[in-house]
Amino acid sequence: MATRTDNFQAVLFDLDGVLTSTAAIHAHCWKAVFDELPLVEPFDIERDYLDHVDGKPRYDGVRDFLASRGVRVSEEQVREIGDRKQRVVEKALEHDTVEAFPGSVRWVRHLRDEGVRTAVVSSSTNAGEVLRSAGIDGLFETTVSGTDIAELDLNGKPAPDGFLEAARRLDVSPHRAVVVEDALAGVTAGRAGGFGLVVGVARHAEPEALRSAGADLVVGDLAEMLP
C-alpha cells in the first residue's frame, strides 16, 4: 500500500476524475459553451480546464476563465453561461456512458471492509445521477454535491467547506480524515481544511503541480493504495 490508512476514520472522495471518468465530459461541455462566446483566444481543454474550471462550482469556473481572458460580465451573464453548461452536461450524460475507475472502486470496497467511512464531495450538481449511473452510489454514506453547497451557502473549492461538511456529517474530525482529489482546486481545499492526509490522483494534472497545491501523496491510480 502506498500509505496506510489505519489512523484515519474516513476517506472523502472527489467524483469526476477520481471515481468516475466524467471529467472529460465536463471539459468538452465547457469548451462547447465557451466557444459560443466571441473570445479572441478560445477555451483550451488541456490548459484552461485544469487552470480555471476543474473542481470548482460552475459559476466560479465561468468567472475565473473569463477573468483569465480579461472579459468582464455581469452576474446575470455568469449564471446564464453556467446554466447553459449545465444543460449541455445533462444532455451529454443522457448519451455517454459513465464508468467508474476499477482501481478506485476496489480501494473503496477495501476501505469499507476495513471499517473506514466513505463520502463523496463534488462541485457537480449531477453527482447523485453520476454515482447511480456508474453503479457505485451504495459505496458511500453521504454525498455533498454542488446542490448542497449552494443550498447551505458554502464556499466552493478551493475553499474546504464541502469537505468539512462531509466530515461533519460523518462525525469525524478533519485530522482523522483523508481527502482524495485530482483537481488542483480540490487538493488546495483539502490542505486548507486541515485534513490528515491529502491524496492527489494524477489523471490530468501533473504530479508536481498536485504536490505544490498541497498533496501529501500522489498516485496515478487509486489501485496503488491497495495492500
End-to-end, the C-alpha distance of the chain in Å comes to 4
Q: What is the DSSP letter of 83?
A: H
Q: List, edge to edge, every strand of the sheet that includes 177-181.
A: 142-144, 117-121, 10-13, 177-181, 197-201, 217-219
Active site residue 171: no
> Among residues 14, 48, 60, 148, which one is catalytic?
14
Q: Is 74 exposed, middle or buried (0-12, 13-18, 19+ CB in 10 A)?
A: exposed
Asked if 200 and 222 count as a contact pair (C-beta separation under 8 A), the reply is no
Measured in whole angstroms, how far is the alpha carbon of residue 65 from the centre of its chain? 17
Q: Which helix (H) or strand (E) holds 26?
A: helix 23-34
Active site residue 137: no
Q: Give Rg (Cα) of the chain.
A: 17
Joined together, the cell numbers standing for residue 48 give 484552461
Hey, what amino acid is at 4? R
* Positions of E strands within 122-181: 142-144, 177-181
Active-site residue numbers?
A: 14, 16
